[in-house]
Structure 1
């Protein structure tokens, strides 16, 4: 009886141990399945984010900005520009200042006004702040254009070629250390120099991309104006447009008078020379005219004496004929 009781107890314990082991294994399998599912979901999310990022824009983005400003106080605007550039730790790469005769306009209201063009390199993190400072201090903004160029693929392709060339360079250096024949050494050195030159060229290209990415480029044109007028458009009322047209016309006439006066000043020596020549010609012609007139008067005064002489001659002839007639009688 006791043996049967012991057997039943042993069987019950085995059954309990088996059930517990099955429960533990099932819970572990469930936990593993849950972890794998979460890992797959995380990988899918990461891959989706990477794909969306690749579709939008890459790591190496080159930003280029073109802007045009108009100002009445040109020199003051240039000073403000330099202060803003220094404030944001940017620098002027190139600059050029010219004086326009017509400034691209059909009239001459903008004659002899200055125009400055600047190529400015700006740290990429300071671009927005610098543009905001220009908006309020430089003058009136006429145009703005911002462009982004994604150079990531080009950069990665170049970097892969650099790595390939670097490995080739390492192998050539190993072969150069092992070479003993002069012909082999010369051939390896020539190949090595070509490899190094090609790698350095590619590295300089990537360095240039890094610089363009770290510093955005701003091409700024600053135009000097005699006045800043509103651009007429469909949204401007008629009377405002008429007012602007009248003011512009007055400025045009004002500057036309100035241009005329300046032209006369430039042409004054030539006008004086021309006036002297005209006076000399008129004086010579007047002198000749007076001489001719005096000669005509003198000829008229001499005509009666000639007539009288002719009359005397006729009288003498008649006197000679009378005695001959008397003798014949």
Structure 2
């Protein structure tokens, strides 16, 4: 019983060495005889682990065919004004379908009353194929008024290289553990190998997921769009616009202000109409009463 416990502790100790030893040299003449079920099997894994790490380092130095700056994640931020939220939303959906894009997430709500109307807004995170992003932005100008535009770029080339190299290393480790598992006979050895194999497979899946996410973010550019419903478009003309353009804009703003004033007066009139009727009625009755009193006095 004591011997079994000692062997089990020895097995776990050697597995820990697999993950910790990174500076040892590879033993080319190491024996790999048929007795693969004893603790010597795990020492073999340790030596090969070091060799694979050195190989992965060489692969990373050579670049693995990846040029610095090749893996870049781009994100664009736009604010789009609209006079009719529902119409522009339908046009946006059609544009997304046309450009083979998709909405990753969205948030639509009301931003409050203005000129007696409750205006709406929408925040959209849109994924657009990187080769279609410029055409997509140009098409947005046809369905609304762009008031703000910015972008950011993140170079993830080095992180991508490191992740790929680590994945190669973990894959090699998984393969060796599977080979040892096939040859293992002792129960304690099988349990120890399966435990380490489970951790290795989990790490491999996480690395594959990370690489996939990076590839998706590169292939599909993120467009963060704020769609805002307004009463009237903002004046986005440049400061050095011609006199005619500025006069045209001033006249347009004046007409809009006059229109709003008329609408507000009509709304106020409708609101005050019951009170006006009561006041006028009382005034008429008062005039009639006063006239009758005067007639009686004569």
TM-score for the superposition, normalised by structure 2: 0.60
Residue 124 of structure 1 is matched in structure 2 by 130
The answer on 1:112 being equivalent to 2:123 is no
Counterpart pick for 2:70 among 50, 54, 59: 59
Instruction: Find the residue that maps to 1:112 and give its secondary structure.
Output: strand
Cα distance in 2 for residues equivalent to 1:187 and 1:262: 84
Residue 199 of structure 2 is matched in structure 1 by 194
What are the Cα deviations for residues 249-307 of structure 1, in whole angstroms up to 9, with x where unaligned?
54665676688689989xx9xx9xxxxxxxxxxxxxxxxxxxxxxxxxxxxxxxxxxxx
Cα distance in 2 for residues equivalent to 1:98 and 1:147: 27
**Structure having the higher Rg:** 1
Cα distance in 2 for residues equivalent to 1:263 and 1:232: 38
What are the Cα deviations for residues 91-125 of structure 1, in whole angstroms up to 9, with x where unaligned?
122222111115xxxxx448511111211111122
Query: Retained in 2: the 8 A contact 1:121–1:218?
Result: yes
Cα distance in 2 for residues equivalent to 1:95 and 1:115: 11
Query: Retained in 2: the 8 A contact 1:110–1:225?
Result: no
* Superposition CA RMSD, Å: 3.3
Cα distance in 1 for residues equivalent to 2:123 and 2:161: 34
Instruction: Find the residue that maps to 1:227 and give its secondary structure.
Output: coil
Cα distance in 2 for residues equivalent to 1:66 and 1:168: 43
Give structure 1 regions of 4+ aligned residues with deviation exceeding 3 angstroms: 108-111, 231-265
Cα distance in 2 for residues equivalent to 1:163 and 1:259: 72
1:118-267 map, 5 Å: 118-135=124-141, 137-231=142-236, 234-235=239-240, 243=251, 246=254, 249-250=257-258, 253=261
TM-fit CA distance, 1:216: 1.0
What are the Cα deviations for residues 24-55 of structure 1, in whole angstroms up to 9, with x where unaligned?
xxxxxxxxxxxxxxxxxxxxxxx9xx99x63x
Cα distance in 1 for residues equivalent to 2:144 and 2:84: 9
Instruction: Find the residue that maps to 1:226 and give its secondary structure.
Output: coil
In structure 2, relative to structure 1, the CA distance for the partners of 1:231 and 1:145 (3 Å cut) is closer
Instruction: Find the residue that maps to 2:139 and give its secondary structure.
Output: helix
Query: Retained in 2: the 8 A contact 1:101–1:110?
Result: no
Query: Retained in 2: the 8 A contact 1:118–1:219?
Result: yes
Instruction: Find the residue that maps to 2:233 and give its secondary structure.
Output: coil
Instruction: Find the residue that maps to 2:100 and give its secondary structure.
Output: coil
Query: Retained in 1: the 8 A contact 2:147–2:236?
Result: no
TM-fit CA distance, 1:169: 0.9
TM-fit CA distance, 1:222: 1.1
What are the Cα deviations for residues 47-77 of structure 1, in whole angstroms up to 9, with x where unaligned?
9xx99x63xxx22221111111111122221
Cα distance in 2 for residues equivalent to 1:259 and 1:176: 83
